[in-house]
Amino acid sequence: MKDTAVPLDQLVPEHIKGFEAYIPSQPDDMLKKLYGLETLHRLNNNENPLGPAPAAWPVLENFPPREAAIYPSGDAWHLRRALGERFGLDPDQFIVGNGANEVIAFVIKAFCREGDNIVTADKTFAVYEWVAEFSGFKARLVPLKDFAFDPETMLSAIDERTKIIFICNPNNPTGTWWKRDQLEAFLERVGGRRIVVLDEAYCEFVEDDEFPDGIEFLQRYPNLVTFRTFSKMYGLAGLRIGYLAGSREVVDIIRRTCVVYSINTLAQAAALEAVNDDDHVRRTRDHIAGEKRKLLPRLEKLGLEYQSDAGCFVMIRLPFSDTLAYRKFMFKGIMIRSMTGFRFPNWIRVSIGSSAAMEAFATALEEIIA
């Protein structure tokens, strides 16, 4: 006798029913066809306009095809040792993941159980919120203050079921960041009672003596975990590779939730070479700073409010809908990020691209505003 089929709706948890899937944009070739374009400048994903770190190019150009049939190192063994040497830590204090998104999930799964929550800002990298919510945990969101994370409101949002606090430093999308003394004071007040995650995806873009290096704080604060990525500064976004660092005790717990073999061989090999390419970091910083110096006066001349601090992007407030702006820019061959999804309606975020792309964007903006 066959069992009666259960309606699909009954198999879906309530927290999933209320969650909307993220729909990525179509591939570039399809967008070009859709909008009738020959050239498309990608200024929406904070990609490195200089491309991958040159130290990684030989790996990318000479990857042996036969290695595609062999599973990669399950725990990025060589890369973790290179990271340990670079930062003066035990290699076992690192976990490498398939982009920063995967290590975010590792941490949340390691420490949260039913009824728990995380605390973060309402206008920051949305994946902390998304992963918590679709995992069945509550995300307690606090407002930014002057476009920055506010330590007081974050501390006031903590309750007895808060397990993890996520801080994006510098913040995506506003570029604001906590100074060393701000971070230290916050960690002291949290004590060891919660896991504090410091997302430093854009830390390499900051040149300021007061900017805190999260990895240097790990020895003093064993409840601190830092995230970093090879997608932004090192130009390996297409290979999807990021990592976290923390105390041995915390990392050993997080490792229990890891999916091994999730980082492909080419990504590991390219990151291994890129991690010490300091010349690429310097050249990228110089390029970003130079293009911002050219763009910001043009925004001021147009009378547009903007937010620009650290990072490889600028936020701009428009006098009309950001979703309308997206379409207008697409017809001119420029992809920008509409910010309604970040809870910044009528704002757009523009990645700093090549000089040609930035000139095309500025010219298009002037035409659209006119």
Give 141-162 as a 3 state SS string. Answer: EECCECCECCHHHHHHHCCCCE
At residue 3, the pLDDT reads 65
Specify whether 232 is located in the same domain as 171: yes
Specify whether 60 is located in the same domain as 134: yes
What are the residues whose beta carbons fall under 8 Å from the beta carbon of 229, sequence distance 6 or more?
99, 100, 201, 241, 242, 243
**Domain of 299, in residue numbers:** 8-51+279-369
| Cis previous bond, 143, omega within 30 | no
Query: What's the rounded mean pLDDT across residues 290-319?
Result: 97
Specify whether 243 is located in the same domain as 127: yes
- Say if pTM beats, i.e. exceeds, 0.75: yes
Specify whether 113 is located in the same domain as 156: yes
Residue 79, in any domain of the structure: yes
20: domain CATH number is 3.90.1150.10
Instruction: Give per-residue pLDDT as tens, 102-129.
Output: 999 999 999 999 999 999 999 999 999 9
Residue 3, in any domain of the structure: no
Q: Which helix (H) or strand (E) holds 48?
A: none
Quote the tokens at residue 240: 């999807």
What are the residues whose beta carbons fall under 8 Å from the beta carbon of 298, sequence distance 6 or more?
362, 365, 366
Report whether pLDDT(40) > 70. Answer: yes
At residue 24, the pLDDT reads 81
Specify whether 254 is located in the same domain as 301: no
* Number of domains present in the structure of the chain: 2
Residue 1, in any domain of the structure: no
Domain finish residue from 274, 297, 323: 274
Residue 143, in any domain of the structure: yes
What average pLDDT does the structure give for the chain?
95
CA dihedral 61, 63, 65, 67 (to 10 degrees): -170
Specify whether 290 is located in the same domain as 170: no
260: domain CATH number is 3.40.640.10
Residue 217, in any domain of the structure: yes
Specify whether 73 is located in the same domain as 142: yes
Specify whether 45 is located in the same domain as 105: no
Instruction: Give per-residue pLDDT as tens, 151-198.
Output: 999 999 999 999 999 999 999 999 999 999 999 999 999 999 999 999
Whether residue 141 contacts residue 122, with contact meaning beta carbons closer than 8 Å, is answered with: yes
The pairing of beta strand 138-142 with beta strand 117-121:
parallel
Specify whether 47 is located in the same domain as 138: no
Instruction: Give per-residue pLDDT as tens, 356-365.
Output: 999 999 999 9
Residue 335, in any domain of the structure: yes
Specify whether 288 is located in the same domain as 226: no
What are the residues whose beta carbons fall under 8 Å from the beta carbon of 258, sequence distance 6 or more?
75, 95, 97, 106
What SS3 class is residue 22?
A: coil
Instruction: Give per-residue pLDDT as tens, 85-101.
Output: 999 999 999 999 998 88
DSSP state letter for 238: G
